[in-house]
Every structure is written in C-alpha cells, then in structure tokens.
C-alpha cells in the first residue's frame, strides 16, 4: 500500500496558503507604511528639538539659515522612503514662509520660519501627501 498525499489534498493546502497570503500581505504593507510615517514624524520631532535648542542659544530667535539647523541635526536622521539619502537631504528650509510649509519629496521634513523669527512651522511628507501633523512653537 502506497502512502502519500493525493493531488486534491495538495491543491487544498495550496489554496489555503493562498488565502492566508491574500489576507496577510495587504496588512503587512499597511504596517510598513505606518512605520515609515512614524519615522518621518520622529524626524520632524528631531528638527523641532534642534530648532528649539538653537532658539534658546540665540535669545529666542528661531534660525533662518539652513546650514545652522543642518549642523545641529543628529547624524542618524534618515529618510524612510529613500534610505540612501543623507541626513541633510531629508531636511528642507523654506524662507519667508507664513506657515504650512509643504515638503516636496516623500519623507522630507520642511522647516519654515516667519520674517521676525518668532514662529516656525515643521511639516513632513508621507508617500501620498503632507502628513496631518504640523509642529509649531510650544508643542
């Protein structure tokens, strides 16, 4: 008597594995996107802490030069969407902005400061659009 699995049994197993994969893969993709957005928000917070620190050192005036902020940013700042970018490529400065700065590329963090250097806005971008989080002084 021969022992083994029939073709029907093998097909049933393959169908079950396919159904499980069809359920699991979209959920896994959503989790990856949420992790990337969390990384952009963390980068935004790093920029905010850096800007606030520079402000404390300069008598309450927020920095207007990109090089000033970039020089103080942590070296481990990475773009979750394009990990080969250096930390300086993730950060962008908008001059003369009045708020609501919009970064162009995925994963980038935009910093904008008003002309009187008394207020700033930090926004980040996800895969599809600007994140629903804007950091301002006092947050």
Q: What pLDDT, in 10s, does the model give residues 29-80?
A: 899 999 999 999 999 999 999 999 999 988 888 988 888 888 888 888 888 8
69-125 tens-digit pLDDT: 888 888 888 888 887 776 667 788 765 554 555 556 788 888 888 888 888 888 888
Secondary structure of residue 16 in the 3-state scheme: helix
Domain boundaries, the chain: 8-135
- What is the distance between the alpha carbons of residues 27 and 92, in angstroms, rounded to a whole number? 32
- Among 27, 26, 45, 48, smallest CA distance to 37 is for 45
Four-residue CA torsion sign, 43, 119, 100, 71: negative
Please check whether residue 107 is in contact with residue 90, taking contact to mean a CB–CB distance below 8 angstroms.
yes
Cross-strand partners of 92: 110
């Amino acid at each position: 008597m021969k022992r083994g699995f029939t073709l029907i049994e093998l097909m049933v197993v393959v169908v079950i594995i396919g159904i499980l994969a069809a359920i699991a893969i979209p959920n896994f993709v959503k989790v990856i996107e949420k992790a990337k957005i969390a990384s952009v928000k963390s980068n935004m917070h790093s920029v905010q802490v850096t800007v606030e620190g520079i402000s404390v050192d300069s008598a309450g005036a927020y920095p207007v030069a990109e090089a000033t902020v970039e020089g103080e940013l942590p070296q481990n700042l990475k773009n979750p969407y394009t990990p080969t970018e250096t930390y300086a490529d993730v950060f962008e400065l908008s001059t003369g902005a009045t708020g609501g700065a919009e970064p162009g590329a995925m994963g980038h963090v935009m910093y904008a400061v008003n002309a009187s250097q008394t207020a700033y806005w930090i926004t980040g971008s996800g895969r599809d659009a600007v994140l629903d989080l804007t950091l301002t002084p006092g947050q």
